[in-house]
Amino acid sequence: MIDVRSLGDAEPFVTKDGSTIRELLGLGPGGTAQLSLAEATLEPGQATERHYHAVCEEIYFVLEGVGEMEIEGARATVRERDAVPIPAGSRHQIVNAGSKALRLLCVCAPPYRHDDTFFD
């Protein structure tokens, strides 16, 4: 049997950094022990709180919208089909810089955990 997860079945929740996510795979919904996959959404003008993960490294992949990504003081505009690696321990933030929702996939290894999210 193949375990297929649908984004429509994933319950949204707000992470410690302030984004709304729907986790498809990871420790919570099961299925994977070494990484997690979630969709995050930020409304126009909304931003995550600048934070870092001590253990987890991430990849953001933009599905829709335009964002301003900041990692350790470096900034870049990100758009649909852009991918951004975020090393463990790197302080980062993303701001929705567009006029519609910013949707992105977040891949975390090891899987995302609230207790691995830290603020200065």
The string of pLDDT tens digits covering residues 31-49 is: 788 999 999 999 999 999 9
Query: Is residue 12 a part of any domain in this protein?
Result: no
Query: Is residue 5 a part of any domain in this protein?
Result: no
Cα separation, 54 vs 29, whole angstroms: 22
Query: Is residue 35 a part of any domain in this protein?
Result: yes
Cα separation, 79 vs 64, whole angstroms: 7
pLDDT tens digits along 62-89: 999 999 999 999 999 999 999 999 999 9
Query: Is residue 87 a part of any domain in this protein?
Result: no
Query: Is residue 51 a part of any domain in this protein?
Result: yes
Query: Is residue 116 a part of any domain in this protein?
Result: no
Q: Is the pLDDT of residue 28 over 80?
A: no
The contacts of residue 16 (CB under 8 Å, 6+ apart) are 49, 51, 114, 117, 119
Query: Is residue 16 a part of any domain in this protein?
Result: no
Q: Is the pLDDT of residue 58 over 70?
A: yes
Residue 16: the pLDDT is 84
**Total domains in the fold of the chain:** 1
Query: Is residue 71 a part of any domain in this protein?
Result: yes
Show the domain range for 55.
22-80+101-111
Cα separation, 95 vs 46, whole angstroms: 6
Residue 29: the pLDDT is 64
